[in-house]
Amino acid sequence: MSEIRVDTVSEKTSANGVSIDSVILKDGAVDVQGVSDGIILDADNDTTISSDTDDRIDFKAGGSDIVHIFGNGNVSIGTTDDNAKLQIRKADSSVSPSSDADELFIENSGNTGITIGSSTTGTGNIHFGDSGDNDRALISYSHNTDHMTITHEGDESFVMGGGRTQTGGETSGDVSAGGLCLNMGANDAQILSFKSSDIDHGITSGTGNNAETDTYGSIKKVDSNNGGCKLSGYTEGSSVMAIELFGYTTTPDSAFSVSSQGIVQIRAVEKSGSSYTGVGNDDNMFAVKNDGSTKFIVRGDGDIGHDGSASAFDEYEDAHLARALDLSHGNGVIDSKFDQFVKYNHEDLAKIGLVGREKDGTPNHFINITGFQRLHNGAIWQQYEKHQRLAEAVYEMAKEVLGEDKANAILEKHDIKLLN
């Protein structure tokens, strides 16, 4: 083995440096002339630094390429691809990062992920910032509360924990695992809105309505200070149904009693302490309105009321109209010798709105219940009038045949009181 020991080695020709086995020492720098594995860092020569590709520095460990630094400042780990400011590859995913998201690119041919480790009481964070705010948005996970939080402009938009998803800073909403709790704070617009790009109903104003024209359904408070839930549906064109309640069951209840259940049912209660109880007999449970005008009410005792200001049928023989309905369908009707004298038919019932019509104009048996209530009310009065006329006629005849005293005695015996 040969050995040379010197204190100083200087270049012979200015600016050429000193060359030792293709390695140039010049002006305080080492030039390995682009030789692969030009700088060896370990004893077995398999951990090296080299730059045998122009404008790229390669770091090897154990004989394998590990890190590559490119002339543009990009760094790749596990690949020589220059796709991102920092690219980490476990295996090729055949994916090229978007130019809008190429600062950090992590890839694998299978599952890929990032782990953020914190203490058992710490919080892991991902911040989104700009020149005016370094945490304009934030995704964080608290190991202390086991809550995942998405924050926007300082407000906790979503909090997830215990299988629940909550909004508005709610952390212990009254829902079970898998549930969704929406907290809108003191805001008063829709808490839930359903939209579709093919909807354009144009209903964007009116009392309590702040829906947009592509909204086909929404949920909001009835009263901004007192609460209540308002469900709204919006439609356009030839569609006439804005809200449909559809109930499914395999075992419908056929009982007809105060404990019966319906496939679709409405339940009304009033506050009692911290719980509730049934409403009073004279309190309204259910109402139907035409805009601001109430047309139908169901009370606590089951009484039903409606706006009964529509016209009576005094120009008709009410009993004949009632009989015409029975004769029009014939179900369970026993023939009467007086049926031949009934003045009206199915078409007459449809003309005055006591039954409906199909779209082609054919009368059907969809009955106007309130109309028939008015009809029956009129029929009772008409029959009362006829009864009085008949009683007066019999009384006049009795007076002529038996005399007034005996005629009066007959009225008294049978407890018949003439209107006069």
Closest CA to 194 of 220, 218, 167: 218
Residue with tokens 């006629």: 393
Distance CA 240, CA 234 (A): 10
Q: Are residues 341 and 404 in the same domain?
A: yes
Assess whether 301 and 341 both reside in one domain.
no
Domain hosting 349: range is 318-413
In sequence order, the β-bridge partners of residue 289 are 294
Q: Residue 313 domain-assigned?
A: no
| Same domain (yes/no): 162, 98 | no
Inside any domain, residue 420: no
Regarding whether 402 and 369 lie in a shared domain, the answer is: yes
Q: Which of residues 131, 151, 183 is at a domain's end?
A: 183
Domain count, the chain: 5
One-letter identity of residue 232? S
Res. 180: pLDDT tops 80? yes
In angstroms, rounded to a whole number, what is the distance separating the alpha carbons of residues 387 and 414? 14
CA atoms within 13 A on the CB side of 300: 10
Is 270 a domain residue?
Answer: no
Give me the phi and psi of 74, to 5 degrees please: -70, 150
Q: State pLDDT tens for residues 212-241.
A: 999 999 999 999 899 999 999 999 988 789
pLDDT in tens, 296-317: 999 999 999 998 777 889 899 9
The reply to whether 419 falls in a domain is no
DSSP state of 95: -
pLDDT interval class at 21 (50, 70, 90): low
Q: Are 16 and 10 in contact (CB under 8 A)?
A: no
Of 86, 107, 128, the last residue of a domain is 107
> Which residue among 235, 253, 271 closes a domain?
253
Question: Half-sphere exposure of 40 toward its Cβ, with a 13 Å CA cutoff?
Answer: 8
Distance (Å, rounded) from C-alpha 207 to C-alpha 232? 13
The reply to whether 49 falls in a domain is: yes
Quick one: tokens of 284? 């309204």
Residues 324 and 406 in one domain: yes
Q: Residue 352: name the closest of 363, 338, 339 by CA.
A: 363
**390, 405: one domain:** yes
Same domain, 292 and 339: no
- Flag whether 3 is in a domain: no
CA–CA gap between residue 54 and residue 33 (Å, rounded): 11
pLDDT-derived band at 5, boundaries 50, 70, 90: confident
The verdict on 330 and 408 lying in the same domain is yes
Residue labelled with tokens 């003439």: 418
Residue 333 maps to a domain: yes
Exposed/middle/buried for residue 148 (C-beta within 10 Å: 0-12, 13-18, 19+): middle
> 6 in a domain, yes or no?
no
> Same domain, yes or no, for 401 and 380?
yes
